[in-house]
Chains A and B, each alone.
Chain A
């Protein structure tokens, strides 16, 4: 009896603070247009990063993102957030972040030691937008 109440409470909280979805027509296919820039053109990173695909980000939203992740065919496959561990530990919250699509089939969260653009240890939060997205971004 308690569990449904907790879930109902969480759902209400989630719905009340739901992240805004970006304009689907504008971001479903690469390139997403302004204010997004292709990460590999702004930073020394591979154009297609295994596991993340081709990333675009609004520079004003660094470091957390959202980073829009596209597969080789240019289809939006995931939305990625990068949150520095020290900032989280120091009390910084990253709230109300936008999502590339309101359809989320799975979420991966894992540690990353850093890379150009977010050059400190941080967490990757990856929201996959369809069941095959992870495989398409793998390599």
Chain B
């Protein structure tokens, strides 16, 4: 269920449940991740770059960068044949390009660590990490290690899972 701009996607086994009962989506908690950039594009980032949420949380990505377009794209073979960096039970998502003011929603239900990136800005380190649930949750899947599939700038951009769980939301400036 891929829904663009002002639509939503449910990832990780919740798709059928959401279709059968739309109230599930409507009632799900909502968190927002902004796509931001400096005026001349020197810096671009997800805000927050690290976020901890409960399973079933709706995530809304909103492009607040007036001079650029962005994507929120999960690392997965289905997306440009990238290595998987989301739980195996999760459904990959790709927002497509969001122009200023556009938004995209996804609902994450499978517990574990989700890494994602912005297609045109991955090489500038615009990546993010979402932690769904807690490590003690059944079927939890932790963070993937470094890989040749990742540019150094991207690999350096993920806050640690421990830091995300401790602070729940990590701004770019506060990223360790």
Contact = CB atoms under 8 A, between A and B. Distances in A.
Chain B binds chain A: yes
Interface of A: 44-46, 49-52, 110-116, 119-121, 124
B143 interface: no
B63 to A, nearest CB: 10
Contacts, number: 60
Contacts of B123: 114, 119-121
Classify the secondary structure of B's interface with A: loop
A113 B42 contact: yes
Contact of B66 (A50, A115, A116, A119): A50
Given A46-B100, A119-B121, A110 B42 contact: yes
B126 interface: yes
Contacts of A111: 40, 42
Contacts of A121: 123-124
Contacts of A50: 39, 66-67
Interface residues of B, number: 20
A116 B67 contact: no
B46 interface: no
Given A45-B99, A52-B67, A115-B120, 10 more contacts: A44-B69, A46-B68, A49-B67, A51-B40, A110-B42, A112-B40, A112-B42, A113-B41, A113-B42, A114-B41
Interface centre among B37, B67, B99 (most CB of A within 10 A): B67
Contacts of B121: 113-115, 119
Interface string B41-63: 11110000000000000000000
B67 A46 contact: yes
B69 A115 contact: yes
Interface in B95-144: 97, 99-100, 119-121, 123-124, 126
A116 B119 CA distance: 8
A111 B42 CA distance: 5
B40 A124 contact: yes
Nearest to A112: B41
B100 to A, nearest CB: 6
Given A45-B69, A51-B67, A119 B39 contact: no
Nearest to B124: A113
A57 B123 CA distance: 23
Contacts of B42: 110-113
Interface in B13-54: 37, 39-44
B80 to A, nearest CB: 12
A115 B44 CA distance: 10
Given A49-B67, A51-B67, A121-B124, A116 B97 contact: yes
B47 to A, nearest CB: 15
Contacts of B67: 46, 49-52
Contacts of B66: 46, 50
B40 A110 contact: yes
A125 B41 CA distance: 13
Nearest to B96: A44
